[in-house]
Amino acid sequence: MPRTLQDVVFVDGVRTPFGKAGDKGIYAQTRADDLVIKCIRELLRRNPTLPKDKVEEVAIAATTQIGDQGLTLGRLAALLSGLPNTVPGYSVDRMCAGAMTAVTNVASAIAFGAYDIAIAGGVEHMGRHPMGEGVDPNPRIIADKLVDPSALVMGSTAENLHDRFPALTKERCDAFAIGSQDKLAAAYAAGKIQPDLVPVATRHVDKGWGLATTDEPPRPGTTMADLANLKTPFRPHGNVTAGNAAGLNDGATACIIASQAAADEYGLQVKMRLVSWAFVGVEPEVMGIGPVPATEKALAKAGLTIDDIGLFDLNEAFAVQVLAMLDHFGIADDDPRVNKYGGAIATGHPLASSGVRLMNQLARQFEEHPEVRYGLNAMCIGIGMGGCVIWENPHHADYGKEA
């Protein structure tokens, strides 16, 4: 039987406030799965016209799939969120791009017609489950010299990127990091971040009960002098510091992805339409360059060029990897189209959850900029990969027409 591909749309997305990993963080004694369950419940509350039994899949990502982030998390989260037991679910792992992959996975199934509505997201509790906990990498990946040993340490790969592109200086990275802090502070002051946040009740044996309502990692008011003398933990006299890289964080995200037809049927708001996406592999030693070929591939699949993109929300795992992408495409470090609300250096980067944060923020920016037709999300991915997703703005006058 011939099939007609369905248009896929981003309906709504939410996230928890992001916390600092560790015993002093806001989520130190909060379960990882409870964070993503909170997001799913909030999505259902915010979209009351969506019947729960019409959700046909729940895909939830986690990088370290162990403990309260393990055991087919998507299925357990679906059950614990109040969805009917007829709703299936599964887990995803593509390290930092886990939630991004969860979205593209369910989007592909929707486009194919396997189902019409799904929930996708991610969670990472890096305080409870440090990246790589309990894993046993095959020693042949090093012994057979398939990769340099630095490929298994993300901060070291960022230092390698500095080596490859000497123009990406520490000073440029520090300046970019300050811009991230300043833009996030301005976005909070203007009320741009708060609509996406789900308050989370917390409990700590020493601190008692609390309520997480804002991100914990930001350091507003950071200056170049503050960053100048920070330690370079990945290399003596290196370039990567805690100031120009994302920290270790806890948090969760979730979103509703649907066919255009299902969104129309159930009266769901459409915030973005999926145009194309791509994941690619690169040299693991310089995984930060991954967004460049991923973006080139996604643009080519869509029949677009970089000049067609009016908004960029890029993950800031390290300042150097964002700058590598901007330099490649001839985009200025302080281009106003890039990360208008700041990025992971300020907000935090709970690994597998971050992809949906990027999408949420792009959707908000689309509302503010109806003159922009296309935007993209991109991120580098551990062990040498990159991902990119291109979206169309439903507020644009030519939305849905042939490009």
State pLDDT tens for residues 270-325: 999 999 999 999 999 999 999 999 999 999 999 999 999 999 999 999 999 999 99
- The residue extents of the domains of the chain are 8-126+141-392
Mean pLDDT value across residues 324-334: 98
Q: Does residue 112 have a pLDDT over 90?
A: yes
Distance CA 305, CA 25 (A): 42
Q: In the chain, what is the greatest distance between 2 CA atoms, to the nearest angstrom?
A: 65
96 included as an active-site residue: yes
Q: Which residue, chain included where needed, has tokens 């990567």? A: 240
Q: Does residue 1 have a pLDDT over 80?
A: no
Instruction: Classify strands 58-61 and 117-125 as parallel, antiparallel or unpaired.
Output: parallel
Q: What is the 3-state secondary structure (H, E, C) of 127-193?
A: CCCCCCCCCCCCCHHHHCCCCCHHHHCHHHHHHHHHHHCCCCCHHHHHHHHHHHHHHHHHHHHCCCC
380 included as an active-site residue: yes
Q: Which two tokens stand for residue 152?
A: 């298994």
Q: Which residue, chain included where needed, has tokens 């948090």? A: 251
pLDDT at 238: 97
Number of neighbours of residue 148 by Cβ within 10 angstroms: 15
The amino acid that residue 204 corresponds to is H
pLDDT at 145: 86
Distance of CA 49 to the CA centre of its chain: 27
Distance CA 301, CA 261 (A): 23
Q: Does residue 137 have a pLDDT over 90?
A: no
CB-count burial class (<10 Å; 0-12, 13-18, 19+) for 180: buried
Nearest C-alpha neighbor of 121 from the set 254, 276, 316, 225? 254
Distance CA 158, CA 124 (A): 21
Indicate which residue of 39, 255, 380, 388 is catalytic: 380
Distance CA 217, CA 349 (A): 9
pLDDT at 403: 60
Q: Which CATH number fits domain 8-126+141-392: 3.40.50.10320, 3.40.1380.10, 3.40.47.10, 3.30.200.20?
A: 3.40.47.10
173 included as an active-site residue: no
Distance CA 364, CA 383 (A): 31
CB-count burial class (<10 Å; 0-12, 13-18, 19+) for 265: middle
Nearest C-alpha neighbor of 200 from the set 42, 69, 382, 383? 42
Angle at 331 between CA 121 and CA 190, to 5 degrees: 55
Mean pLDDT value across residues 92-119: 98
Q: Does residue 327 have a pLDDT over 70?
A: yes
Local structure of 377: helix, strand or coil:
strand
Q: pLDDT tens digit string along 355-371?
A: 999 999 999 999 999 99
Within 193-266, residue ranges assigned H as helices are: 224-228, 260-265
Q: Does residue 12 have a pLDDT over 80?
A: yes
Q: Which two tokens stand for residue 364?
A: 């908000």
Q: pLDDT band at 38, cuts 50/70/90?
A: very high
Q: Which residue, chain included where needed, has tokens 């790969």? A: 157
Task: Kindly provide the residue ranges of all beta strands, DSSP E only, lying in 175-325, ordered along the sequence.
Answer: 200-204, 208-212, 249-259, 272-281, 309-314
| Torsion sign (Cα): 72, 76, 77, 82 | positive
Mean pLDDT value across residues 196-220: 94
Give percent of the chain above pLDDT 70: 100
Angle, nearest 10°, between helix axes 98-112 and 354-368? 70
The mean of the pLDDT values for the chain is: 96
Indicate which residue of 125, 129, 162, 349 is catalytic: 349
DSSP-based helix, strand, coil % in the chain, nearest 5? 35, 20, 40
Backbone angles phi, psi at 386, to 5 degrees: -145, 155
Q: Which two tokens stand for residue 87?
A: 């709703």
Contacts of 145 (CB under 8 A, 6+ apart): none
Indicate which residue of 39, 96, 173, 255 is catalytic: 96
Contacts of 99 (CB under 8 A, 6+ apart): 61, 92, 120, 121, 122, 253, 352, 353, 354, 355, 356, 357
